[in-house]
Amino acid sequence: MDPAEFGISTLPLQHGPYPAISPETLHGVNAGKIAVITGAGQGIGAGIAESLAQSGANVAILDLTVEKLDKTKETCQAHGVKVEAYACDVTEKDAVLATFDRIEKDLGPIDVLVNNAGILDQRPYIMSTFEGFWRQIEVNFKGPLITIHALLPRFRERGGGCIINIASRSGTVDVPMTLAYVSSKAALIRATHTLQQEMALDGLDPAIHFYALHPGGVLTGMGGSAAKQDIAEKYGNLQDEASFMELFKDPPALCGQTCAFLASGRGEELRGLFLDCRQDVTKLLEYGREALLKEKRNTLGVKFLDGYCNEP
C-alpha cells in the first residue's frame, strides 16, 4: 500500500492529546456518567476506558474474558471512579442484553457506549475460509449493531445518550487483503450516518448523538502485524516495512481523549459524521455543521463524472 495514493494532509495532524481534548481541559466533564467500552482489554480500548475514567465517568469494560481486563480495571480505578469488568462476546445478542442489565444494576443507567471491539485477518479473500472472513464481519459490524439495538430503547426512555463507533480510515479506501475489515468498517460508518438521521425522525436528535471515529495510527497487534507466512510465500513482501510502520505513531490516548470529548457533548455539532481523531476538532467545529452537511464532508460518498449525479 502506498500512503501517497490516498493523499497527504497539508494541515498538521495531531499525534497526541492537544488543548481542546487534553485531560486538563476535560477534567470532570463526564462526572457521574456510566460509560461502556467493548474490547477494552488492551490497546485502543484500554486507552478509551482510561480517558473516560479520567474525565469522571464510571466505566464498564468488556472483553471476551474478565482476566484480559485486569490491567485496564486497575488503571481506571486509579482515577477514583467506579469500574466493573464483564466477559461478553458482542456477537451474541442474549449475552449483550444480559451484560447491559448487569451493568445497569451494578453501576446505573448507561449514558455512553463506545463500540471498540474489532478483529482483522490480513489475507486475500480467495485464501480465506468463509468462516474466518465472516467472523470479522460479525465482530466489527454485527457486534456494534447488537449493542446499539440493545441500548437505543434505554436511551429513548431516558431522553439521551452518546454512541461512538470506532471505525477506520480503511472503511473509506480500498486495501487489498483486508476485504472483511474495510467492508465492515465502511458499513459501520454508513450505519452511523443513517442512525443519526433516524434519531431526527423520532425527535431524538441531538439528544442521542452518534459518531464514527478513526482512532489514528495506533500500533496494536491487529494493525501492525506482519503478513502470515502463507501469504508472504505467495505474494512476497507487499509493502515497504519502514514506511508502513511510520503510519503507526499515535498513542491510544489520542483516540481516548477524543472519545471523552465527544461523550461530554462538546462535539455535538459533529454528530452523525465520520471523524479522524488526528484532525483538530476545533477546526471542524469552526467550519460549522451546516457547511459540513451541505458540502457532504466527513461522510461516505461516490464521485461520478461531471454532469452525472447520484440522483434518486
* pLDDT attached to residue 222: 58
Does the pLDDT of residue 187 top 60, yes or no?
yes
* pLDDT attached to residue 202: 95
Whole-angstrom Cα distance, residue 268 to residue 162? 9
For residue 308, is it within any domain? no
Whole-angstrom Cα distance, residue 30 to residue 190? 27
User: Which candidate in 18, 86, 125, 181 is catalytic?
Assistant: 181
Residue partners of 260: CB distance under 8 A and separation at least 6: 21, 26, 29, 30, 51, 52, 54, 55, 57
For residue 176, is it within any domain? yes
Does the pLDDT of residue 206 top 70, yes or no?
yes
Task: Give residue 118's pLDDT band: very low, low, confident or very high (50, 70, 90).
Answer: very high
For residue 304, is it within any domain? no
For residue 133, is it within any domain? yes
Mean pLDDT, rounded, for 252-280: 98
Whole-angstrom Cα distance, residue 53 to residue 259? 11
* pLDDT attached to residue 6: 75
Average pLDDT, the chain: 94
Residue partners of 93: CB distance under 8 A and separation at least 6: 146, 149, 150
Mean pLDDT, rounded, for 270-276: 98
Mean pLDDT, rounded, for 250-266: 98
Q: Rounded to the nearest 5°, which phi and psi values hold at 170?
A: -60, -25
For residue 301, is it within any domain? no
For residue 161, is it within any domain? yes
Show the domain range for 145. 3-8+20-294
CATH code (residue 63): 3.40.50.720
* pLDDT attached to residue 115: 98
What total of structural domains would you count in the chain? 1
Residue 181 designated active-site: yes
Whole-angstrom Cα distance, residue 182 to residue 176? 9
For residue 116, is it within any domain? yes
For residue 300, is it within any domain? no
